Amino acid sequence: MNIVILDDYQDAVRKLPCASKLDAFNAKVYTNTVKGIGQLSVRLKDADIIVLIRERTALNRALLEKLPRLKLIVQTGRVGDHIDLNACTDFGIAVAAGTGSPYAAAELTWGLIMAASRRIPHYMANLRHGVWQQSGLKALSMPPNFGIGTVLRGKTLGLWGFGQIGKLVAGYGKAFGMQVLVGGSDRARNEATQLGYTPALSQEQLFSDSDYLSLHLRLTPETRGTVRLEDLLRMKPTATLINTARAELLQPDALITALNRGRPGMAAIDVFENEPVLQGQALLRLENCLCTPHIGYVEQESYELYFSQAFDSILAWLDGKPINLVNPQALEIRDRLLTNR
C-alpha cells in the first residue's frame, strides 16, 4: 500500500507524535512542490493513498485520470475546489475530509494587525542595519508620521465575515479597546449584534470606516473577487487591510493597485493567488505590505490535529470501515469498476 504525503515544506509531518500511527507503512513524504500534470502524474503514479496539506496541490480530472492506482485522498482541513470531487467519484476515488482549529489563524491575524500597527517588521529590519528608531516608511504619498505607527485602542476593527475565526478576532479587538464593525451576510450581522458588536450598514461603510479591516469570508463562487478596487480605494490612507483568508477574495491586482495609490496605507497578508510565491512577486516589493508565507494554520498543535485525523482516516479505510468520507458513493463505483475489468 503506497501512501504519499505531499508538500510538507518544513519536513514536519515525520516528527509529529501522530506519525507513529503509520509506522507499519512506508509512507513517502515530499518536502518540495511540483506543478503541472506531467510532473505530478510521475510523482503520484504508484500512489494508492494521497494525503494533501490543505490546498497546496490541486487534483483535477485531467490529473486524476492518470492515476489508476489511486483509491483514497485524505484532505487535511476542509475539502475545497482544489479537489475535483465529481471526478474522484467518477473514478471511484474516495475522499476523506478533515477538520481544523480556528485559533492558529485567528492568532496570526492578530499578530499581523499588531505588527502592522506598530511597524514592527520595518523597525526590526532597519535595526539590523544599525538604524535606530527608523521604520523607513517616509514616502511623500503617506500621511504625516505614518511610519511611527499607532496604538489599536480606540480604532475601528472591521471584519468581513463572522465565522469561528472572525468571532475570535472580534474578541481580541474588544480586549484591546477597539470598536468592532462587522459586515457580511445577514446571519453574520445578526450574530454580531447579539454579541454586542456593531453591524455594518453596507459594504461601503465597512471599507470607509475601518481602521483595520480583516477578511474572514469563505471562498465560494459568490465571494470570489468580491473585494473590488473601488472598495479598497474607499479606505482611509491610514488604514490597514488584513487578509489571512484567501487571496482570491480580491479581484486580481486590486490590492497592489490600491496600495500604490495609498488607500489603504498598508496591508498585511498571509495568502497569495499562486503559492509558493516566486521571488520578486509584486506585493513582496512594496514597503507598505507585510507578507507571510501562508502560515495561518502552520503551527504544531494544528499540524498534530490535522494529521492525527488524516492518519485515522487512512487506518479506518484500510480496516474496511471508512470514516470522514465526503463521497461515500465512490466506494460502490470502485467496486463496480473492478468487477467490470
Q: Which of 283, 285, 260 is nearest to 271 (CA)?
A: 283
Known catalytic residues are 246, 275, 294
User: What is the Cα–Cα distance from 78 to 81, expressed in whole angstroms?
Assistant: 10
Q: How far is CA 66 from CA 56, 73, 137, 149, 333, in A?
A: 19, 15, 51, 53, 18
3-state secondary structure the chain: CCEEECCCCCCCHHHCHHHHHHCCCCCEECCCCCCCHHHHHHHHCCCCEEEEECCCCCECHHHHCCCCCCCEEEEECCCCCCECHHHHHHCCCEEECCCCCCHHHHHHHHHHHHHHHCCHHHHHHHHHCCCCCCCCCCCCCCCCCHHHCCCCCCCEEEEECCCHHHHHHHHHHHHCCCEEEEECCHHHHHHHHHCCCEECCCHHHHHHHCCEEEECCCCCCCCCCCECHHHHCCCCCCCEEEECCCHHHECCCHHHHHHHHCCCCEEEECCCCCCCCCCCCHHHHCCCEEECCCCCCCCHHHHHHHHHHHHHHHHHHHCCCCCCECCCHHHHHHHHHHHCC
